[in-house]
Structure formats: C-alpha cells, structure tokens
Amino acid sequence: MIRRLRLDPGRPKPAGAGWRFHCTIPADSPAFAGHFPGRPVLPAIGQLALLEAACRRALGAGTLAGLELMRLQQPLGPGDPLEIRLERPDDQGCVRFALKSGRRAVSAGTLQWERARR
Amino acid sequence: MRPADLLPHAPPAVLLESVLEQREDGLVCRGRIPSSSPFVSRGRAPAWVALEMAAQATAVLEALGRLKDRRSPRRRQGYLVRVRGARLAAPSIAAGRALRVLVWVEGVAPPLGIYRVEVRAGRGRILEAVLSTYLGADGT
C-alpha cells in the first residue's frame, strides 16, 4: 500500500449485494509526486491501489489480475473524499466497482480478481 | 527527444526513459519503475503500475505527432479515460527492471485517442490493454 493512501479502518460496510469503503485522499500523498507539477491529480493507478486494498478487505488475499473495463469520469485531487463500492464477484472472479467523490462519479467498471492459491 | 521532455509529468512519476522506435502507427519505448516511486514496496511494484507506463507512452506518441505543428506547445496534460481488456500476467514487477512498452494506434480524433498497448519484460508480456485518452486544452 502506498504510504498515506489508505482506506478508513474497520470492517467493510454492507451495501446491497456488496460492500462500501471510505477514505480521504491525503493532500500529502506521495502518489501526487510529479503527477502533475502545480496541478496535482491522483493517477489512475492510485485508484487501482485503493481498489485492490478494498478487494483484499472484502474478498481476502488475492491480486488484481485485469480490468474488463474501467471508465475514468472525473479526476481525484488532494483532500477529496472517496467512496468505493464493490459487488460480490461472479463465478469468473469479475467484480463490478464504482468510485464516487461526494456526488461526483469518479470511475466505474469491472475488474478481474484472482484469489491467492493456498 | 527523451520522453521526459515531452511529458507533463516530473520524477518520480516519469516511467519512460527513451523512445526505441517510432512507426507510422505506433512506437516502442523503454521504461523502468524507479525505486523512488511511491508504488514500490520492498523493491517491487504491483503489475498494474504498467498501465501508467503505457498511458505515458501514448502521450509521448501523441506529443511526437504534435511536434510537427510548431504552434502546439510541447507538453499538454492528458487524461486516461478508459481502460478495456487489461490483462496482467504477473502480480508484480521488480523496480529498476528495463521494460519495453509497445503502442499501436487504434484510432485518433483529437482530443480523443484509442491505443492498443503492451508492456513486456524480456520475452514475457506483463500487460496488454486498450487505452482511451483525452488530451487537455492548450496550456493544461
């Protein structure tokens, strides 16, 4: 996990047929370093870091193995609140997700989750 | 011209170090995830960091094309707006390892562009995906 870029602690909150998580994007997150000078925007991979952390909390050990689709609708900046919603995976390990900041849709799509082999 | 001279990013976010080949329909770059990247932990980065590397390569390709028009500023902020069919063949990548980033133009209608990308380590493919990008206005 990236330093100072973490989900709020605690168990995931149930949301419909899945879970939701919250956090605030810290203004001093190193993820903003160099992206971009004078106009900080959280890179899309910063969203993936948080999505992967959310999947691990909800689904257990595993890795992000792919993205069927990810639509990036609005950028995230320093101090923005974030809500992550995950649906339960289907038989193929596909997990639908949506990220919102307040009422703004940030991104949405379907990721491929690969459970760790025991 | 070095990718760092064409991208609006600054270290440690710059993941490309050179353009190896430029073609009519794409290009090949060499990239490396620096150990100073905030996404590196214990010498390795998650494989999805390769998506950012590939997105930067599409920006380099776009900037090289725009350089033909001397009125256009060299650096323009672009945004990744869609990722489709991304497949990651490994969970992580060693920081500092030389990677090859391949980009093919699928379609461009400025400010939108669609590119097929691959990131390879040696003979192995780490990432394949189709990326859609949006180029910001002049001066952004």
CB spacing of B9 vs A3 below 8 angstroms: no
Instruction: Give B83's contacts in chain A (Cβ within 8 Å).
Output: 44, 67, 69-70, 72, 109
pLDDT score, position A13: 75
Which of A72, A73, A95, A106 would you mutate first to test chain B, the one with the most B CBs within 10 A? Answer: A72
**DSSP character string of A66-113:** EEEEEEE-S---TT-EEEEEEEPP-TT-EEEEEEEETTEEEEEEEEEE
A44-B55-B126-A51 Cα dihedral, nearest 10 degrees? 10
Read off the DSSP letter of residue A56: H
Q: What is the pLDDT of residue B139?
A: 47
Query: What pTM, to 2 d.p., does this model score?
Result: 0.93
Tell me, what's the pLDDT at A1?
55
Question: CA nearest B42 in A: which residue?
Answer: A1
Chain B hits for A74, CB-CB cut-off 8 Å, are none
**Residue B52 has which token pair?**
């950012």
Q: For chains A and B, what is the number of CB pairs under 8 angstroms?
A: 91
With bands split at pLDDT 50, 70 and 90, how would you rate the model's confidence at B140?
Answer: very low
Q: What is the DSSP letter of B139?
A: T
> What is the residue type of B92?
S
Name the nearest CA neighbour of A50 among A10, A82, A16: A82
Note whether A34 contacts B80, CB cutoff 8 Å: no
Please count the other Cβ atoms lying within 10 Å of the Cβ belonging to residue B98: 10
Distance CA B42, CA B65 (A): 38
A50 backbone dihedrals φ, ψ, rounded to 5°: -70, -35
Distance separating alpha carbons of residues B81 and B101, to the nearest angstrom: 19
Point out the least confidently predicted range of A3-12, A44-53, B12-21, B27-36.
Answer: A3-12
In what helix (H) or strand (E) does residue B116 lie, and over which residues does it extend?
strand B112-121
pLDDT-above-70 percentage for chain B: 93
Nearest-by-Cβ selection for B38 from A2, A37, A67:
A2
Per-residue pLDDT of chain A (118 residues; tens, 9 = 90+): 565 578 887 777 777 789 999 999 999 999 999 999 999 999 999 999 999 999 999 999 999 999 999 999 999 999 999 999 999 999 999 999 999 999 999 999 999 999 987 6
**Least Cα separation, residue A74 to chain B (angstroms):** 9
Residues of B in contact with A64 (CB under 8 A): 46, 48, 88
For B93, half-sphere exposure in the C-beta direction (CA atoms, 13 angstrom radius) is 32
Of A34, A52, A69, the CB nearest to B46: A52
